[in-house]
Amino acid sequence: MSRALDLLRLARPKDWLKNVFVLMPLPFALAGGASLGIGRLLLGIAGMCLVSSAVYAVNDVIDAEVDRANPRKRTRPVASGRLPAPWATSAAFVWLAAGLVLGGLSDQPWTLAIFGLYVAQNAVYSLGAKHVPLVDAFLLSAGFVLRVVLGCVLVGVAPSNWLLLCSSALALLLALGKRRGELLQAPGESQRRSLAGYNRSYLDQAMAIVAGITLFSYALYSVEAPLLVSGREFASLPFVVFGVLEYLRLAQVHDEGESPIELLLRSPRLILVGVGWVIASLWSVGVPELFV
């Protein structure tokens, strides 16, 4: 039983919440009359969860020695020694294979290509790029953007330039916030070499710039999206503005940006903003009227 629990921890199910990015194109696909296959969408998301778990497992094996010196990470299954590295590697291969099978069953050829790009991106990150300032943040954000593209593929819509720009900026903001949180850890708690290339002032300024790009691109996306109902173009914008500013407040005032997923789970404000954004987005594209 304990080994099964360690395998579950190795899979990092909390991080599956990152796949909410897959659902970003959904309201606009519904408004555009796309034939939404729930089964295909669920298969693609489940496949992405398993592929990402495989990546996390391999990364934990690679970083086991470093993680043992980190008070927060030394309790991870591989770093603590509870789960032998061969077990973790085997689990990674099983999860990867299962994820690819599910991706293939989604009946969208590009799904497997996106899974392959995601694995390749994380291989580059884990094998050295994570030690290079800025390159590490851009590669982290690329994983979120690939999820958005996956969502477009699964619901049958082409990703717009504004959607890609907005999601890229938002993902980069989260990545910079993560690095800022790691930078402020107590000495010895983080051994990332890339942190030597950052300081608090630089990250604060970079986050402000990227937050501005996020809001600007989302506002233009709202105006340019052809499927928005007239008069409702900016219905979801206040939720995005509030959400970005609230994230900056938590990350820069309360120094809580290290883990965006944990931050979301423990912040009632961000949860409410997310729910409000979904409702406003559906209303802005006239989805409720589609079912009347």
pTM to 2 decimal places: 0.89
Q: How many domains does the chain have?
A: 2
Assess if residue 129 is contained within a domain.
yes
Residue ending a domain, among 158, 186, 213, is 158
Mean pLDDT of the chain: 87
pLDDT of residue 9: 92
pLDDT tens digits for range 109-165: 899 999 999 999 999 998 888 899 999 999 999 999 999 999 989 988 888 888 899
pLDDT tens digits for range 6-37: 889 999 999 999 998 998 887 777 666 666 67
Distances (CA, A) of 218 to 9, 201, 240, 241: 35, 26, 8, 9
pLDDT of residue 31: 65
| Separation of CA 282 from chain center | 22
Region 256-266: mean pLDDT is: 81
pLDDT tens digits for range 223-260: 776 666 666 778 889 999 999 999 999 999 988 877 88
pLDDT classification of 287: cutoffs 50, 70, 90:
low
Distances (CA, A) of 195 to 129, 139, 233, 267: 13, 15, 40, 26
pLDDT tens digits for range 177-194: 999 988 887 555 556 788
Helices 109-126 and 38-62, interaxial angle, to 10°? 20
Assess if residue 29 is contained within a domain.
no
Region 74-98: mean pLDDT is: 90
Residue ending a domain, among 101, 135, 158, is 158
pLDDT of residue 291: 44
Assess if residue 31 is contained within a domain.
no
Residue ending a domain, among 107, 142, 158, is 158
pLDDT tens digits for range 42-56: 999 999 999 999 999
Q: Domain limits at 10? A: 1-23+36-158
